[in-house]
Amino acid sequence: MPMKNVRIVLVETSHGGNIGAVARAMKNMCLEDLALVNPRQFMTEECVARASGADDILHEAQVYRSLDEAVADCSLVVGASARLRSVAWPQLDPRACAGLVAQRAAGGRVALVFGRERTGLTNAELERCQYLVNIPSNPDYSSLNLGMAVQVLSYELMMQRQGRSPSRDSGAGDGVTAADMQGLFEHLEQALEDIGFLDPRKSAKLMRRLKRLFYRADPDMDEIKILRGILSAAQGRKSARRN
């Protein structure tokens, strides 16, 4: 598994010290691609101190204005969540997560997304993720420090890398990115509205279920094109092919 294909994404981190701790954990586990979405602080003294020599990771970190931009070129996006949400979203434990990431990183870029120290990831951000990963912990005290959470997940990746020869997954990683999936979802929502199936006031819940379905199906690029062709035809677009 090329570890350079694994991106750690931190969303709106409050404390520079935690970013430093993440950089250190990443370098320990041979990861190097750090993306920061609107960090509240970044290169503070504490950040550099806690990076403890992993300065190269900090210097090369990319700063983005939105999660969408940070994961746009990723073919798999996994969100780390301390709490199991009421919505049943595909869930992984850290080991299964490492297995999936290893498989998919062989053919494309993969993002592991971590939330804010106080409030984690929003529901909208979680919906940007194909899967959620939860680190099993005390149900009454489940929230790990951000750096520790990155450490656990990247350790499992390290174990995965040591335990197995690089795998190549035939179907996955054929270039479908998060942006392609978003394009499909937006088209689907519009088409469902156009044909009168979707009541815009109640669309959120249905769209969540449909996204879950399509993430599970893990379509390749040809399949996405077919689906979008069907949607265009349903919308009555001229560009749609007719028999």
Query: Contact residues for ligand SAH (CB under 6 A)?
Result: 80-83, 114-115, 117-121, 133-135, 137, 142-144, 146, 149
Token pair for residue 57? 């990771």
Nearer to ligand SAH, 84 or 226 (CB): 84
Q: How far is the CB of 242 from ligand SAH (least distance, A)?
A: 47
Rg over CA atoms, the chain: 19
Nearer to ligand SAH, 49 or 84 (CB): 84
Grouping H, G, I as helix, E, B as strand and the rest as coil, residue 115 is coil
For residues 13 and 116, is the Cβ–Cβ distance under 8 A?
Answer: yes
Q: How far is the CB of 214 from ligand SAH (least distance, A)?
A: 24
Token pair for residue 25? 């954990």
62: phi then psi, degrees, rounded to nearest 5: -100, 135
Q: How far is the CB of 134 from ligand SAH (least distance, A)?
A: 5
Nearer to ligand SAH, 146 or 198 (CB): 146
What is the distance between the alpha carbons of residues 132 and 203, in angstroms, rounded to a whole number? Answer: 22
What is the distance between the alpha carbons of residues 177 and 168, in angstroms, rounded to a whole number? Answer: 18
Q: How far is the CB of 46 from ligand SAH (least distance, A)?
A: 17
Residues 6 or more apart whose Cβ sits within 8 Å of residue 96: none
Q: How far is the CB of 156 from ligand SAH (least distance, A)?
A: 12
Nearer to ligand SAH, 15 or 211 (CB): 15
Nearer to ligand SAH, 66 or 119 (CB): 119
Residues 6 or more apart whose Cβ sits within 8 Å of residue 114: 8, 9, 10, 11, 22, 80, 121, 146, 149, 150
Nearer to ligand SAH, 17 or 115 (CB): 115
Q: How far is the CB of 187 from ligand SAH (least distance, A)?
A: 30
The runs of H, that is alpha helices, within the chain are: 16-28, 45-51, 55-60, 67-71, 94-105, 123-127, 146-163, 178-194, 203-217, 221-234
